[in-house]
């Protein structure tokens, strides 16, 4: 039942955006009784938080190419291709959009990204262990700086993101880490 | 009249967000007759585009500290302090939020950022002229990479942005530019 409600929440978010999301519609789409949805999820914010909570635990295939350059590029390309994916892209975009409109959704998305940064930072830790980067490096900041230009293009400047743009963002974060800035 | 309508659009965006923006409310708040607003601006998207069009021409104090390090840090601090400003911050945030909900607002915000990138790139051009950076550098990309982590924290990961975070983002872009990555 939790998964049915979650899938319905995602589909409704994609179809109608945050302003169009209602408990009634999610209940109808999921086939779960309205009173049950209200009792268990409370409101729209509860539905979004729960959907993101589930997303946080989804496998995120952290690359392991043997070099920090390959791994960082791999992570940024995963972000780029995820948003370009016809199924996944609209769902992820709907989360970003919901979070700028609602504080509860923002908190849930924050938690999601903290988990994602922590998972992804593994590639930086491995690079430190291999002696590719200084051990004073801020492992999560390398991830933030690497992915930020992709999100900036997509959700702020509203520009397309090419594969080359993504590689360049990864390379820039790596150059900064090597220079001791991060 | 254009400025009154623009101010009313901004105030309504801040108070009610994009979903609550209506031509009627903007007309009432601005003191301009509803039929005039409809005739001249058409709809909500027209109001947002026009407000952003005006914002594009507002003076943007591109720093000139004598060094690329100081100039880039200055630009990123301007972005950070702008969003932290109690008057300006909510307006700028409302634009970002409107653009993820509406394609017309996204186009207007895109134009705004293209103009802002172009203005800000002047600091990179001056650095090239002074011999601080290689002349093959992508001047606009240096700006994007410098400001992106601030926007990423604010609108995607929903994290606070400290002055140090902003300086570090500027320094990271500069290190990447010096390394020949940008």
Calculate what percentage of chain B has a pLDDT beyond 70: 100
- In DSSP notation, B48-93 reads HHHHHHHHHTS-------SSHHHHHHHHHHHHHHHHHSTTHHHHHH
| A&B contacts, CB < 8 Å | 133
**Stronger pLDDT, A155 or B17, i.e. the higher one:** A155
Within 8 A of A172 by CB-CB distance, chain B residues are 145, 172-173, 176, 181-182
pLDDT in tens, B28-55: 999 999 999 999 999 888 898 888 887 7
Domain boundaries along the sequence of chain B: 2-44, 59-178
Question: What tokens were used for A116?
Answer: 């994602």
pLDDT in tens, B113-166: 999 999 999 999 999 999 999 999 999 999 999 999 999 999 999 999 999 999
B2-44 has which CATH code? 1.10.10.60
Task: Kindly tell me if the per-residue pLDDT of B1 is higher than 90.
Answer: no
The pLDDT of residue B13: 86
pLDDT in tens, A139-161: 999 999 999 999 999 999 999 99
The pLDDT of residue B19: 78
Q: Please report the ipTM that was assigned to this predicted complex.
A: 0.93
Within 8 A of B100 by CB-CB distance, chain A residues are 93, 96-97, 100, 155
Mutate to test the interface with A, among B100, B102, B116 (most CBs of A within 10 A): B100
Cα separation of B180 and B174, whole Å? 10
Task: Kindly tell me if the per-residue pLDDT of B56 is higher than 80.
Answer: no
pLDDT in tens, B82-96: 999 988 888 889 889
The pLDDT of residue B58: 73
Give the CATH number of domain A2-51; options: 3.30.420.40, 3.30.450.90, 3.50.50.60, 1.10.10.60.
1.10.10.60
The answer, for B101 touching chain A at a CB cutoff of 8 Å, is yes
Residue B58: exposure state from Cβ atoms within 10 A (0-12, 13-18, ≥19): exposed
Within 8 A of A173 by CB-CB distance, chain B residues are 172, 176
The pLDDT of residue A18: 81
Residues in chain A, pLDDT under 70 = none
Report yes or no: A106 and A95 within 8 Å, Cβ to Cβ.
Answer: no
Q: What is the DSSP letter of B169?
A: H
The answer, for B178 touching chain A at a CB cutoff of 8 Å, is yes
Instruction: Fold for B59-178, please state it.
Output: Tetracycline Repressor; domain 2 (1.10.357)
């Amino acid at each position: 039942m939790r998964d049915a409600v979650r899938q319905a929440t995602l589909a409704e978010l994609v179809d109608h955006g945050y302003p169009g999301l209602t408990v009634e519609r999610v209940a109808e789409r999921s086939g779960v009784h309205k009173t049950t949805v209200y009792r268990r999820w409370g409101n729209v914010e509860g539905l979004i938080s729960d959907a993101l909570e589930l997303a946080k635990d989804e496998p995120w295939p952290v690359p392991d190419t043997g070099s920090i350059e390959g791994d960082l590029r791999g992570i940024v390309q995963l972000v780029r291709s995820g948003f370009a994916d016809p199924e996944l892209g609209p769902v992820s975009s709907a989360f970003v959009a919901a979070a700028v409109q609602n504080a509860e959704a923002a908190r849930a998305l924050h938690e999601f990204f903290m988990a994602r940064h922590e998972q992804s930072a593994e590639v930086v830790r491995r690079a430190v262990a291999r002696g590719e980067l200084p051990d004073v490096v801020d492992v999560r900041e390398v991830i933030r700086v690497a992915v930020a230009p992709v999100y900036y293009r997509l959700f702020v400047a509203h520009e397309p993101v090419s594969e080359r743009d993504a590689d360049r963002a990864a390379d820039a974060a790596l150059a900064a880490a090597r220079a001791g800035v991060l």
